[in-house]
Structure formats: structure tokens, C-alpha cells
Chains A and B, each alone.
Chain A
Amino acid sequence: MKIGVFVCHCGENISKTVDCSRVAKACAEIPGVVHTEDYKYMCSDPGQNIIKQAIKEKQLDGVVIGACSPHMHEKTFRKVCNSAGINPYMVEIANLREHCSWIHDDIEAATRKAIDLVHIAIEKVKYNEPLIPIRVPISKKALVIGGGISGIQASLDIANSGFQVILVEKEPSIGGHMSQLSETFPTLDCSQCILTPRMVEVYQHPNIKLMTYSEIESVDGFIGNFKVRIRKKARHVREDLCTGCGDCTQKCPIKKSAVSEFEEGLTTRTAIYVPFPQAVPNIPVIDTEACTYFKTGKCQMCVKVCGRGAIDFKQQDSFVEEEVGAIIVATGYNLYSIDKKPEGSIYKGYGEYGYGKFKDVINGLQFERLASASGPTSGEILRPSDKKQPQKIVFIQCVGSRDESKGISYCSKICCMYTAKHAMLYKHKVPKGEAYVFYMDIRAGGKMYEEFVRRAIEEDGVNYIRGRVSRIYESNGKLIVKGEDTIAGEAVEIDADLVVLATAMIAQENSSSLAQMLGVPYDKHGFMQEAHPKLRPVETSSGGIFLAGACNSPRDIPESVAMASAAAAKALVLFGSDVLEREPVIAKVNESTCAGCFYCQKVCAYNAIERKIIKDRLGNFIKEIAYVNTSLCQGCGTCNATCPSKSVELIGFKDDQIFAEILALAEV
């Protein structure tokens, strides 16, 4: 074998601490190396030409580059060598920059280490074999999980580009949290007015298959070729027959026993219900826990009034399987539960604020419903306990957020803004009322955000108090809020009529199990992890799976929408080509030595190991052995390390390649 070694100076980045010419000289003595060279910038045009020329002149069949991390320029150098006639997989990179020159000061020791690192790569390349990338077709259809504003935006962007989208929403209607909001900051335009047209657009779009009241059961496969199983929960109302006339919901005798999820528990709903009037699709769902028929077998009022015969008590959950090429996760957020410590949760509750105990201590979303023209009070601010207009209202920011003692260290990002909005809305509706805001800091970074907060303080006369609230208790029909004003340095006591807590945004309850199903990393709070915090903010480390909105971290509407469009663009990049090239690093079974123990099958995370029967020429059974499905194998190599007879090997990281690397370090 003829190996060429090329050592890059990377300007001074490597050569400052590594004597590159000495590395090249030392490597020239290693058996198999026929050419060594060092140059200022190997990745530059002249540098690439040096490599190409040497390959041609010395007829090299293996190349080792001592340069930056393979994550940086492996592709570049593979391309260079390929253009000079060498198989790209006959190239190995020794990481002399990130793993050597940048982290050491001692020139002698760093140079010695650099020689070792190049030596390791040389020994590996001796066992490399020419490989051809795997080409797999792409199914040009996207799955969007979550029908909030992020999911809606991503679906519309992909659908408008001419590709099919399946939008899965677990609730009976799309719209998400945005549909619950009254007005939005910093423009105070009505949330539903800007959202509902988009919801309708999704429903009517020929390229979008909308599946509400549905959940993801399982996800298999890989980028370009996911197989998704979706559970369509039984609505007990046939979507193909229902016209959304609303007769059933009006006549349902169960009026009070079920709380309205959409109204955040501020009011009740019927057993057969549509979450809110503008719901998309406008098809009711039967709450089987509240419905008399499901409890006693009687009533059937909805069946009687439905002229279309759309009610189907016998309907069962059904399953749909879909093949998609890309998945966009837009599952959004939840609000931190403040009344008690949720079971099995890492978070602690805020018992001292009495949420759940005092009726007039509510959270931000509940206030949204109170302020909303379509809400239970038709937009009048009336406190839940006695439906009176509160004359003194206290808003408390950072309830949960930025409070390590409650288990949340992060900032929920939107609370400063929505509290300012709430206080403003209150002052607009109750001009004589007094509004107080307890805050830790005001974080109003965003276009027109700071101006918005200033407006609340200066024009609308909201009293901002810097400090925390220690306790809230009831006395004579008032809520006594005890806190401190850290600027004045004194204790504060306010006898409020209504208290609104700006509770933290947390990940959806099941986000970690969904993340596990998708193979997407998530943080300790359950927020899904992006591939790179700066440069790959919407991608995940799993190819073909992208993130949009608050499933990644707390975000406001404009950011979620921007992220959704970015995720859609990433999916569209994928759909731009017909086949996907994959690294040929996959496992391969040696059929003559495999004894068919199938330990490999047990450890494979991708179900890539299948069974294959070997027969002789006459068709007699010889043995059953393992067989690798190349389109499923992701190349982790766990099977290789598990196989007792070393009959399955990971191409590109075979045993002899790694042993050669280790032996390179042996003292000669």
C-alpha cells in the first residue's frame, strides 16, 4: 500500500505548537508511507492541489491528513481525493488542531502527540477498504406533530411548496395555546383574529391531511424513510357525516360535570363538545367520562337530535400508518403546575401562593380567558369567586421560572411581556383599578418589547415593584399579598382582589417519551435538544427530525413562527433531492462464521438485524443466520462488539482497523 501523509499548518493554528515538518519527517519512516508533505493551508486550493498531484505522481492508494477535526474538513478532503481518483473512504484525518495544538503549550510534547495521532490514522488507513455511499430514496411527505401555531406554520409552508403534510394534533382542535390568548403583545392584536384564518387554511389545504384527536404511537425508520403509526382516538362522532351544526352540543343534558379545558377550568362544558366555537375541525367529541350513555347506557340525546346519524358510540380507536421523509416536532409547552407538586415531577409547587386553594389566585392562561372577548366572562375582568370586578390586582412574575429551589433554573422568556400586557388590558378595562406587578428583572428583548413595557408603566400607570412575594393569604374576602420592595428596601402588603401568577413554561408532559420514540435528545426539563445551539437551531441530532416552537425551549409567537418556517425549509431541503446518500458505515455479517445466536438482534436499536436461511443447492436447510438490513442499520457497531464469534463487523470501524490503531501506540 502506498500512503501519503499531508500535514497542515492551519496558518499558525497548528504550527504554533506542533512542529509540522518534524511530524511529516517522522511519519515518512513508518512502513507504507511513500510521501509526506506539510503545507500552510491544506484545505486551500493550492493545498488541495498538492494532495491531488502527490496522489497522481506517487500513485497513492491511501491518504492521511493531519489537520483540523474530521467534523470540520473530512468531507473536503474526501472530495479532493475522490477527484484525484482515490476512493473517498481511503482517507483518514488526524485531528492535530482541536485535539492537539489548541489544547497544549509544550511544543515537544505536542509534536510527539501529533506524530502519534498521525501514526494512528496511518495504521487505520492500511485496513481501510474502498466503500460506496448508500443511496436511499426519500419519501417526500412530512409529518408535523402538534397543531399549535408552530405546527400550523410549518405545515402551511411545506404544503404550499407542493409537498404532502400530515398534521397530527392530540386535542380535538388545532390552534394550540395561541387560540386561548386574548390579545398578543406588543401590538395588542386579537390572537384568534390572526390565528383562525390560518387554522381554516390548514383544514382546506389540498396538501394537508389533518388528523386531530390523534397521537403518535410509534416511529421507525430513518431520515427520508420514517414509518409512523398514528392512533386516531375515538371521537364517537363520525367525521365523514358530521356537519358541525352544533345541535348535539346544545341539547346535551350534561352541562356542569366536566370542566372546560379550553377555558382553563374557569367554566364547564357539555359531555359532547367542541372545545371552542372556532375549532378546526368543527366536529364534536364525546367525553366518555362525563357522558351518561357511557356511564349508564341511557340518555342518547345526541343520537336523537343528530339529523345525520353521525354519533357512533361503538367507535374504537383506529390506527393509521404513514411513510414520511421528514418529521417536524411542534409539541409546544405546558404551564408549570403551581398548586401542588406534580407526582413524579422534579418540580416543586408554590403552595405559599395558594393556587388551587384560593379561587382568586389564577395563572396567566386563566387571565387570558378572562380578558378574551370569547371567554367565559365575554372579556369582562371578573374574578372567579364572586364574579365581581377586582379593584386591586396583583401580578407576580417568575413563578417557577428562575427559581432553582422549585427545580427550574431557566427564564420562561415570555412572562415579562405577557404580564405587562395583562396589566395593560386590565387598566384598559378597569381604568380606576390599581395594578401591581412584582418582578425580579424585566426582560423585554425584542422588537417594540421594551417600549411596550414602558407604555404599561408610564401611560397606563401600572405599579411595578421589584421584589418577590413571600406569602398570599385570605382575610375578609381579600387576598393579602406579602412581599418586599427591594428598591425601597421595605416590606409591602397589598390587599388584592385578584392575583395572577406568571407561571413558568415547562415541556409537555409526554415530551420525553416522544423524544425517546423519535431518538431525539432532551434536557432534564424535557425540552428537546437542537443539534447545535447556534448553527443548527432547528435540526436535531437525528437526521430528518426538526424542531419548531416551544418544544425546544420557551418561546413567544414570532420566534415560534420563525422557527417553524425554518424547520419547514430544512424539510424542503431534504425533499429537494430524490435520493439520499448515506455513509456506508454499516454492519455486515460474515455468513460463513455466523452461528445464528442472534445476540446482535437483541442489542440492535434499529431492528436492522433480520434472519436469513441458508440452504444448499438442493434446497436443504443448512443454518439460519443474521442478516443486516442496510437501509435500517445506522452504524453504531454495538452488534460488532456483542458478537461472540466476531461474525458481524462494522464497515469502516472493523476490529482489525481499531486494533491497528491501538497497536500504533505500542512502543516500538
Chain B
Amino acid sequence: MEDKKIEIWEPKVVAFVCNWCTYTGADLAGTSRMKQQTNARLIRVPCTGRIDPLFIIKAFESGADAVLVSGCHPGDCHYNSGNYHARRRWIFFKELLDFVGIDSKRLFFSWVSASEGKKWVDVINHVIDTVKSEGPFLKYKNLKKEFEIPVELNE
């Protein structure tokens, strides 16, 4: 597709957000017309507890330069404890990421409530600024090239 061609490198940020707090907080940022950078793509899930670590790996594999996971504040989960399970999962997962060679600095977590439109903007801008200074995430892409079957062979 033409529209997807990127001339100057712009980071791609995939954000997994829960429906009740962060998604609504991002809505609030919208209704309050709080300007922010355009690089984030939100994927809505019911709860951070739903987020499988594989989603994050998949996002990096699909070319994300950074991944953000955001949900309700501890104690405020719409489903009582989903975010606690998520938090526990990330503690392990972050270490695993380092182990598999994905720079865990590219993975961000935050708690943004439905009333924190401003915080959401700050989080988004922080993530994008950080990843901009880190540069594109090439490890996975290079890996892909390495294991790609040459076209001649494929045919």
C-alpha cells in the first residue's frame, strides 16, 4: 500500500490498553483535545490481565519499535485483580525479554486511569520520545532477513 511507505523513519508504537481505564483515559485526552504524537496504535482489550506476553513478542515481530501496556491503577481494576496478574506476569516477562535479546527498554508499562487524560498524553509522548532517541528496532528485522529463504530458492 502506498500510504504505508515511510520515507523518514518514524517509530511505530503498539499500545495494548484495557477498555475501562486507559482506553477511556485516552478518550478523555481526545475529548479534551490534548495534542500528542501520532506514532501510537492502540489495541483495546478488556483488561490488562488478558494481555498474553506473546502479543508483545508478536508486536515486536511485526515491526513495532516499542510496545506499551497500560491499564487501571493497582486496586482500581474493573475486574478486581486482572491488573495484578498482569503486573506479576510482566515482572518475569521483562527479564525474559532481555534474555531473548529484545531490549526491554522498548517495553513500557503504565497505569493510566479513565480520568488521567493528561497522564496518557505524557506517557505516549515519553514512549515515543524515548524510542525516537533509541532509534529503530532492527534486531528482529535483521533476524528475519537472516532466516529468510532467498527468493531464488523459494521458487
Contact = CB atoms under 8 A, between A and B. Distances in A.
Interface of A: 22, 26, 29, 69-71, 95, 97-99, 102-106, 109-113, 115-117, 120, 516, 519, 521, 533, 541, 585, 603, 605-606, 634-638, 640-642, 650, 653, 655, 658-659, 661-663, 665-668
7 contacts: A70-B44, A71-B24, A585-B46, A605-B79, A605-B80, A638-B49, A641-B52
Complex A-B, nearest 10 residue pairs according to Cβ-Cβ distance, in ascending order: A98-B30, A637-B50, A638-B49, A636-B79, A666-B62, A636-B47, A605-B80, A109-B38, A102-B30, A641-B52
A177 B55 CA distance: 53
Interface centre among A641, A650, A668 (most CB of B within 10 A): A641
B30 A662 contact: no
Contacts of A533: 115
Interface of B: 1-4, 10, 12, 14, 20, 23-24, 26-27, 29-31, 33-36, 38, 41-47, 49-55, 58-59, 61-64, 75-76, 78-82, 85-86, 89, 115, 121
Contacts of B82: 605, 636-638
B46 A650 contact: yes
A151 to B, nearest CB: 25
A641 B89 contact: yes
Contact of A519 (B44, B63, B80): B80
Given A69-B27, A104-B36, A603-B85, A662 B3 contact: no
B82 to A, nearest CB: 5
Contact of A640 (B4, B35, B44, B52): B52
Given A636-B79, A653-B50, A659-B55, A104 B27 contact: no
Nearest to B141: A667
B52 A655 contact: yes
Nearest to B17: A99
A521 B80 CA distance: 9
A462 to B, nearest CB: 39
A635 B46 contact: yes
Contact of B63 (A103, A634, A667): A667
A663 B3 contact: no
B3 A658 contact: no
Contacts of B35: 103-105
Contacts of A667: 4, 63
Contacts of A663: 58, 62
What is the predominant secondary structure among interface residues of chain B facing chain A? Answer: mixed
A637 B49 contact: yes
Given A99-B26, A653-B46, A106 B38 contact: yes
Contact of B50 (A111, A541, A636, A665): A636
Contacts of A109: 10, 38
B20 A541 contact: yes
A26 B3 contact: yes
B74 to A, nearest CB: 11
A638 B79 contact: yes
Nearest to B80: A605
A102 B33 contact: yes
Contact of B41 (A117, A585, A653): A117
A110 B43 CA distance: 17
B30 A665 contact: no
B80 A98 contact: no
A327 to B, nearest CB: 15
Given A605-B80, A638-B79, A668-B4, A102 B46 contact: no
B6 to A, nearest CB: 8
Given A105-B35, A112-B3, A658 B55 contact: yes
A521 B52 CA distance: 25
Given A22-B3, A71-B24, A109-B38, A120 B47 contact: no
A451 B45 CA distance: 53
A69 B27 CA distance: 7
Contact of A665 (B2, B12, B80): B12
A638 B24 contact: no
Interface centre among B20, B62, B121 (most CB of A within 10 A): B62
A638 B47 contact: yes
Contacts of A29: 1
A485 to B, nearest CB: 39
A376 B15 CA distance: 63
A111 B1 CA distance: 14
A635 B79 CA distance: 8
Nearest to B120: A103
Nearest to B55: A658
A97 B58 CA distance: 27
Nearest to A638: B49
Nearest to A529: B76
B46 A637 contact: yes
Nearest to A109: B38
Contact of A638 (B30, B50, B75): B50
Given A98-B26, A603-B81, A661-B43, 7 more contacts: A22-B3, A69-B27, A97-B30, A110-B38, A638-B82, A662-B55, A667-B4
Contacts of A634: 79
Contacts of B49: 603, 636-638, 641
Contacts of A655: 52, 54
B79 A665 contact: no
A636 B63 contact: no
Nearest to A23: B3
A336 B117 CA distance: 32
Contacts of B53: 641
A306 B48 CA distance: 61
Nearest to B113: A521
A156 B92 CA distance: 53
Contact of A113 (B41, B43, B61, B62): B41
B60 to A, nearest CB: 10
Contacts of A104: 35-36, 38
A634 B63 CA distance: 33
Contacts of A69: 27, 30
Nearest to B32: A102
A113 B38 contact: yes
B38 A662 contact: no
B145 to A, nearest CB: 13
B100 to A, nearest CB: 18
